[in-house]
Structure 1
Amino acid sequence: FWKTNAWNLLIVSIALLVIVFIPGLSAGIGTAHSWISIGGWFSVQPSEIVKLTFLFYLAAWLERRNQHGSKAMQESFLPFVAVLGTIIFLLILQPDVGTMSIISAMSLVVYFVAGAPLIHVFGLIAAGVAGIALLIATKPYRAARFMTFLNPELDPQGIGYHINQALLAIGSGGLFGLGYGLSRQKFEYLPEVVGDSIFAVIAEELGFIFALLVIGMYLLFLWRSIRIAQGAPDAFGRYVAVGIGSWIVIQALINIGSMAALMPMTGVTLPFISYGGTSLFVSLCAVGVVLNISKHAKT
């Protein structure tokens, strides 16, 4: 089903990305307008849906290209860039740089696993770095976030407030934490405590060791996804399993890295843990797909 309907699913999800710009249907938080509001009581985030639908399309398309030999794979570069570029463009307009980064990195991993020429892979990495630098330079609030990443103490009561409160929460937890439910930072200090900042609360309440276990669980998920990919019955299943494993881990590392001031704040959720209906729903669907591939795996 996913392979045969991959293109249709992608078209629908891209259409949803366009709908977020329609007045009356669009809903936003902060500077991002990434949600479709339905009746004022229900909202959907299309950028989360497109992670999975684009992966299905990419896996099905790369499988077909590989069946026609290495020359067809080399000729696939421009079509790959065109489709990915369309999605990136729509995400930048929202703007949702965090999701853009996740989809780009996931796509690059799958493209590499499918046998893409290294010159294409390195070229895309270079273009991605240049593109991110341009995005930072052209928007003052992004430049301010980047400067705060370089120096969290630059504006602790302004643009640097979020990261400083997150670092304080993580540092307060020590090795074993303050105890379950005993976080102090989550009470009117740390923003987005059930969303983007949930990892900082985990580290404060349960400690550094438990926080490492959380990271270890994501790495275990990646390892299992790779093992499942190795035994997948076809190339489509292999690419999808690798893509989902890399997507979940990349998203987790971006979230955790931003909370630990290892990278600029992006606003992405922590998979399976952060509050967020569309994000959680799509992530669980992705896990179901991996389990289905595992069910039909050769090993």
Structure 2
Amino acid sequence: DQVKYLVITAVLLFFETRVNLVEVEKAKRPTGIWRILDAIAKQLPVILLVLGLSLNLLLAVSAGHSSLAYCQLGACRWLRLGPITIQVSDFLKLGVMLYLAKITADFQARGGFLEEAGRTTALGMLMQLLMDSYARIKGRKERDGVNLKSQADVSGRTAFSDQVNFSGNNYGFNQGFNTAGNSARVNGQGNSLMSGVAKILARGQASGWASGEILRKSYQFYAKFFGVLGISLFLIVVSQKDLGSAVPLGVIALTILFVAGIKIWKIMILFAVILALGVGMILSSPHRRERLFTFTGKGDATTDYHIENALITVGSGGLLGVGIGNNVQTAGYLPESITDSMFAVVSEMWGFVGAVAVIGLYVHLFMEILKVANTSENLYFRLVTMGVFAWLFSQVAVNISAMIALIPLTGITLPLLSKGGTSLLITCFGLGLVINISRFTSRTEISDDERNEEIKNNLRVSRSSRLGGRR
């Protein structure tokens, strides 16, 4: 079964690393089969999101009523499609990651996350309120023969004829506006003061209207973002009863928002909401409550079996391990020894040194992914890279922490080591995206170096010509 997934993964990685995502972003049209692949790559976020949602909905409908769904340990995570069995949540995580990265990058390109937008709108509304109040109170009588009506009209027209630009979007306000009302009059000493106030108020109104447009797009973005995230979490947690797979999805969403530039306190609020929902889901499920009681030391011998044998397996490896093929705990003692408990098996086989080496390899992989994200100038590529990082890092951290009893058991696999064809396929797909982005970044860095070298050569030639002219 694993051989089929290995072949599919190898073919997928070949095409994935060959398709030039940069040309897709620039709307270039290659010929032949690459045109089809580029067209697919351009709509990849939507395609994978629809695929993931469709598979999860099919699993939710067929669970308990059809042979398509395969359930184990109280969770229905797998879908039988002919000769293969797939874990549908992995497809959904990949699709959601790419879709959230795409809409976030598009929103940011249109001026998203303008922290001043809401404050500017509120300020414009407050100014308009004060302006109208002044017009009603002071505009009833004419004092000292000074009429500021024309001044206010001119101020309003001047302010509203400006073109307000927010990230490339022009919002033109070309209509006249009487900022102080038809009967606003003050004394001579307040003439220049009220003229300036009227101008400020008019500009505040224009900013408020423009900011209102930004806020409208902000609401649309957040509706898409949290709508897709909420539906995905519902399908995974409620329908499949798989709380562990929802952890990477939440981490991915928080990471994308953080990299895009949202304020930390907003992320903390979102994290608190997700944490509260997670605690509620744990307390509402007897099976999850047993895992929590086991972690706190209040479980019985039956519920403690998995975590106790995992600790025994990790500790029995010693410094250098028992060697390949000499494992004792995997002979029927350690549950899920080749899937969820793979890190414990590695620790027993290769010991403390082998476990540290595996962790070191993961750290090296994560550092390389972060390096690619840091050097990428395209926001969408950066968000995708950071999404892959958050996804893999959360799975590795949760799996290893569960095996050494730092957190309750969650059922999350160890990427690239645990058995699972779907996990291997989707993980390699994500890493293939990072490799593709890295190739583009490397070409950019090389071209920059060549450009810098060309500038230096031009400076040398210019300096030599000046010296020759002086002689």
Instruction: For residues 261-288 of structure 1, give each alpha carbon's deviation from its aligned partner in whole angstroms, at most 9, with x where no partner exists.
Output: 1111111110000000101111011111
Partner residue, 2:76? 33
Partner residue, 1:154? 299
CA distance in 2 between partners of 1:2 and 1:127 (Å): 34
Shift of 1:18: 0.6
Partner residue, 2:437? 293
2:58 aligned to 19, 23, 30, which one? 19
Partner residue, 2:106? 64
Equivalences for 1:72-151 in 2 at 5 Å? 75=219, 76-92=221-237, 93-151=239-297
Shift of 1:6: 1.4
Shift of 1:233: 4.3
Number of positions where the alignment pairs a residue of Structure 1 with one of Structure 2 = 296
Shift of 1:5: 3.3
Shift of 1:2: 3.7
Please state whether the residue corresponding to 1:253 is helix, strand or coil.
helix
Please state whether the residue corresponding to 1:296 is helix, strand or coil.
helix
The answer on whether the counterparts of 2:248 and 2:390 sit within 8 Å (CA) in structure 1 is no
The alignment's C-alpha RMSD in Å is 1.6
Partner residue, 2:160? none
1:8 aligned to 47, 53, 69, which one? 47
The answer on whether the counterparts of 1:3 and 1:56 sit within 8 Å (CA) in structure 2 is no
Residues 79 and 118 from structure 1, CA distance in 2 versus in 1: closer, same or farther, beyond 3 angstroms?
Answer: farther
Once the two structures are aligned, what percentage of the paired residues are identical? Answer: 33
The answer on whether the counterparts of 1:2 and 1:56 sit within 8 Å (CA) in structure 2 is no
The answer on whether the counterparts of 1:62 and 1:114 sit within 8 Å (CA) in structure 2 is yes
Q: For 2:361, give the aligned amino acid.
A: M
Shift of 1:216: 1.7
Please state whether the residue corresponding to 1:194 is helix, strand or coil.
coil
Partner residue, 1:230? 374
Please state whether the residue corresponding to 2:78 is helix, strand or coil.
strand
The answer on whether the counterparts of 1:74 and 1:117 sit within 8 Å (CA) in structure 2 is no
Shift of 1:120: 2.3
CA distance in 1 between partners of 2:313 and 2:300 (Å): 18
The answer on whether the counterparts of 1:37 and 1:43 sit within 8 Å (CA) in structure 2 is yes
Shift of 1:154: 3.4
Q: For 2:367, give the aligned amino acid.
A: W
CA distance in 2 between partners of 1:288 and 1:68 (Å): 28
The answer on whether the counterparts of 1:3 and 1:236 sit within 8 Å (CA) in structure 2 is no
Partner residue, 2:415? 271
Shift of 1:114: 0.9
CA distance in 2 between partners of 1:88 and 1:241 (Å): 22
1:199 equivalent in alignment to 2:343: yes
1:217 aligned to 361, 378, 392, which one? 361
Shift of 1:155: 2.1
Bigger shift: residues 41-50 or 129-138: 41-50
Partner residue, 2:87? 45
Instruction: For residues 193-221 of structure 1, give each alpha carbon's deviation from its aligned partner in whole angstroms, at most 9, with x where no partner exists.
Output: 11111110110110112111211211221
Q: Which runs of 5+ in 2 are unaligned?
A: 1-39, 115-213, 446-471
Shift of 1:236: 1.0
Shift of 1:74: 5.4
Please state whether the residue corresponding to 1:35 is helix, strand or coil.
strand
Q: For 1:207, give the aligned amino acid.
A: G
Bigger shift: residues 285-294 or 171-180: 171-180
Please state whether the residue corresponding to 2:319 is helix, strand or coil.
coil
Please state whether the residue corresponding to 2:245 is helix, strand or coil.
helix
Shift of 1:94: 0.4
Q: Which runs of 5+ in 1 are unaligned?
A: none
Q: For 2:48, give the aligned amino acid.
A: L
Q: For 1:145, give the aligned amino acid.
A: R
Q: For 1:167, give the aligned amino acid.
A: L
